[in-house]
A = this chain, B = another copy of it.
Amino acid sequence: MSATPGSLFLIPTVLAPGTAEKVLSPQVRETITQIDYFFAENIRTARRFISELKTGKTIESLTFYELSKETPEAETAEQIKLILTGKDMGVLSEAGCPGVADPGAVAVKLAHKSGIRVVPLVGPSSILLALMGAGFSGQSFVFHGYLPIDRADRSRTIKYLEKEAQQRNQTQIFMETPYRNNQLLEEILKTCQSQTPLCIASQLTAPDELIQTKLVQDWRRQPPDLHKKPTVFLLYK
């Protein structure tokens, strides 16, 4: 007799340290308490996150499987079979919601292929919070992930996104590795038209959260220091 299959839970984590009590939905804590097997982008971060939730379970009783960009898909495919034997599994992102701009999507894809139930839980997403806070069009928006690193490519891309925002009436969302944020901002302020509205959403959910929408010409006068601060950039028209 075969067991009733478990489910794959997509479990959001915090965006900023020390904010779990404020931003995590009750279902996150409850689900973590009930699961013993986790996929995690970074196992150390995942252990620390769960440990800080103080669920009453010992971390040693939990099993973690790394699911990073480097993980071979065949490995994840093998590990996820545990669900078919009746165990629930969770996917944890490095920060925020798994499956959005992170390798967790691979586990979700594999789950669907095996007919495994997938359950996304409510939690913080920097992209969504930035979009809410920008005051731009939420009717139509696009997230581009990271822009090209090459300077000429990046400048061309910014120009293109500005045009897309205008022509499609569509919010353009993108980000950068935090230690390159100031360069990207400089590039945006140099490349975009004075009248283009830019929203900078930085350190979301943290005590020093900054969410401001201004015209490019106004940002030029007083550009914020975004060095090493996780930031989402949004352009509109």
A: which residues have CB within 8 A of B?
A: 10, 21-27, 97-102, 105-112, 117-120, 122-125, 127-145, 170, 199, 204-205, 209, 211-214
Contact of B99 with A132 in the complex, beta carbons under 8 Å: yes
Which chain B residues lie closer than 8 Å to A111 at the CB level? 135
Contact of A132 with B25 in the complex, beta carbons under 8 Å: no
What's the Cα separation between A209 and B123 when bound, in Å? 17
What's the Cα separation between A102 and B140 when bound, in Å? 11
Contact of A135 with B108 in the complex, beta carbons under 8 Å: yes
Which chain B residues lie closer than 8 Å to A136 at the CB level? 105, 109
- Rounded to whole Å, the gap between the CB of A170 and the closest CB of chain B is 8
Residue of B117, B123, B133 near A10 (CB, 8 A) is B133
Contact of A138 with B22 in the complex, beta carbons under 8 Å: no
Besides A99-B133, A122-B205, 6 new A-B residue pairs in contact (Cβ under 8 A), listed by A number: A24-B26, A98-B132, A99-B132, A105-B138, A122-B129, A142-B142
Known: A25-B22, A122-B205, A205-B122. A133 touches B145 (CB 8 A): no
What's the Cα separation between A231 and B124 when bound, in Å? 21
Contact of A135 with B118 in the complex, beta carbons under 8 Å: yes
Known: A100-B132, A128-B128. A118 touches B22 (CB 8 A): no
- Rounded to whole Å, the gap between the CB of A112 and the closest CB of chain B is 4
Contact of B120 with A133 in the complex, beta carbons under 8 Å: yes
What's the Cα separation between A122 and B127 when bound, in Å? 11
Which chain B residues lie closer than 8 Å to A112 at the CB level? 135, 199, 212-214
Contact of B120 with A100 in the complex, beta carbons under 8 Å: no
